[in-house]
Amino acid sequence: MSNNSSLITHHSSLSPVVGIVLGSDSDLPVMEETVKVLRDFGVPFEVSVLSAHRSPRRAADYATTAEERGLQVIIAGAGMAAHLPGVLAACTCLPVIGVPLQGGALNGMDALYAIVQMPPGVPVATVAVNGARNAALLAVQMLSLGDAGLRRQLRAYKERMAADVAVKSASLQEKLQQQQK
């Protein structure tokens, strides 16, 4: 289902505050993780397919109008010569989080360098290759600066992570003790 048009999809009755932008619909399997996280935190978002190379005017229009449409953060995922997050950042004052995507002959290194090596003046907050989950969490953290409810949810999320690690550690100790018997 590859085409290069902007397919803006709203995923809540509330106005979207996070814009998730994919360089191609082929990026969805990885970028879907952002959707899961934002749904878990109850953050309204929209998803679009835009390309810095194949639909440059639409990409620029999207970023130029993002703030007036109520968006507060943009997450942009792209692979290969991944100029999308940088182009969006060039056209808006909103924070842009870039997700370099694995694939192509260089397996994500090309996208990582393209996204992380922005010139001074136009930052893109770059996460790990395929780091869609962290991109969404960073977006939630940004939004939480003005939202006590989101801050509470983030604290609970961290507590759950710590509890999970404690469970894993206890289970490992148990296995090791069994081996000694």
Cα–Cα distance, 32 to 47 (Å, whole number): 10
Dig out the tokens for 127 from the structure. Answer: 């996460």
Binding of residue 23 to ligand RP5 (CB under 6 A)? yes
Instruction: For the CB of residue 5, give the shortest distance to ligand RP5 in the complex, in Å.
Output: 12
Binds ligand RP5 (CB under 6 A): choice among 103, 108, 129, 134: 103
Residue 131, interface with ligand RP5 (CB under 6 A)? no
- Asked if 74 touches ligand RP5 (CB under 6 A), the answer is no
CA 125, CA 91: separation in Å to the nearest integer?
A: 15
How far apart are CB 81 and ligand RP5 at their closest, in Å? 7
Interface with ligand RP5, residue 80, by CB under 6 A: yes
Q: Which of 1, 2, 120, 176 binds ligand RP5 (CB under 6 A)?
A: 2
Q: Which two tokens stand for residue 2?
A: 């590859």
Q: Residue 35 and residue 42: Cα distance in Å, rounded?
A: 10
Of 69, 113, 118, 117, the C-alpha closest to 89 is: 118
Question: How many residues would you count in the chain?
Answer: 181
Residues that bind ligand RP5 (CB under 6 A): 2, 23-24, 26-27, 51, 78-80, 101, 103
